[in-house]
Chain A
Amino acid sequence: MAETAVKEKEPIIAFGKKERQLLTDPLNDNNPITVQVLGICSALAVTSLVYPAVVMAVAVTLVTAFSNLFTSMVRQYIPKSVRMIVQLVIIATLVTIVELLLKYFNYPIYKQLSVYIGLIITNCIVMGRLEAFAMANKPWRSFLDGIGNGLGYGAILIIVAIVREIFGKGSLFAGSPIELKIIGPTAEYLINTTQSTLFGWYSNNNLMVLPAAAMFIIGILIWIQRSYNSKLVDVS
């Protein structure tokens, strides 16, 4: 049995230093959005509320992880010339599964995310990781790389969504079971602006609801990250 022989030499599922690095690297040094500039395409539109952003982040993490895993499993059998089509079919199948699951379990969110679930297919991060990592690495590592990149992507998505929701709507996790109301004009909110003497001047910032706000926030996030991490600075 050739397979067991390979297993003895190197365990298929290991969790050493390299594996941990695969998970943590994409969170900062090699973040898919702020450093690799992949996958900004579709998902920013879902960041005006936190809850859909979390759902989107989970969906993307699942798709990147499993498409990396499956592509890595069949990588030796894919001819070079048709690899794009094979990858696209794997991704499209996984996205269809995710879409159907979401439709079944949480229809309102499915409606809200509308076309953006389908757009995970062309989310450059999925394709980018397949090309850059899964085509050249073993399944378990590719799986971890997929999870790491999904998380790095989700982290940015959720940070942007938190800022946009608090300042734009005054709430947090609206639409989910753990909805929090933070600042607003009625008694339901944690800080009631009609009664509070300290925050009486406050009203929601409508700019944050506009798509443009997501751009500004990401721009500023990149600014902050690069001022702490000078090796990422664009020299050109």
Chain B
Amino acid sequence: MEFINTFIKTAFIENLVLSYFLGMCSYLAVSKSVKTAFGLGMAVIFVLGITMPINWLINEYLLSENGLFGMDLTFLRFILFIATIAAMVQLVEMVVEKFSPSLYAALGIFLPLITVNCAILGGSLFMVSREYNLSNSIAFGLGGGFGWFLAIIAIAAIREKIRYSNVPPALRGLGMAFILTGLMGIAFMSLMGIDPAAFAAK
């Protein structure tokens, strides 16, 4: 039940984009049409879901004091995490290309871009600072990815519509995107009323 709990919490209440500003760069750059936003969103769910448990294992069994090397190597965390993410993205890219060319064509250029998406590294660092266990970190990865996916789809849909509206010229494009994101953030905050504990008890 803790699994569902963490999933709901990270997907809706503590949404990575809307309340932690993670992955904002690609969120703003790739949200001009719903189709591309969908591709990137799927890729983020995929990569977050894979890298999170791997980074958890690395942190637990290689870097911590009672790990494989028996000493505190946590200062290597940044380099190892980013290397894992880069390697995983590369691996996922190759696997997807081999087994599902149609998905590969759909994700296209977005896969390599994900390496520098702050949501991925941010997720791993949050996982460490919140001291999640393995199942929680899987839930956190999937939930965080799903929340990111929802946010980028929503903003892309709104931006497609708002192109036909009469926005002041100076606010057009980027300025409006920021204000919309703020409004969406407030909308998502209303989901704070959901009590995941009560949900889990059912």
Contact = CB atoms under 8 A, between A and B. Distances in A.
Contact of B183 (A40, A44, A212): A212
Interface in B2-51: 18-25, 28-29
Residue from B24, B169, B172 with most neighbouring chain A CB atoms (10 Å): B24
Interface string A199-223: 0000000000011111110111011
A75 B129 CA distance: 35
Interface in A105-159: 114-115, 118-119, 121-124, 127
Interface string A1-40: 0000000000000000000000000000000001001111
A216 B18 CA distance: 12
Interface residues of B, number: 47
B121 A122 contact: yes
Contacts of B172: 233-234
A93 B122 contact: no
A226 interface: yes
B122 A216 contact: no
| A contacts with B: majority SS | helix
Nearest to B115: A84
Given A92-B82, A123-B118, A222 B129 contact: no
A211 B20 contact: yes
Nearest to B119: A41
Contact of B125 (A34, A118, A224): A118
A227 B126 contact: no
Residue from B78, B82, B128, B169 with most neighbouring chain A CB atoms (10 Å): B78
Contacts of A41: 21-25, 118, 122
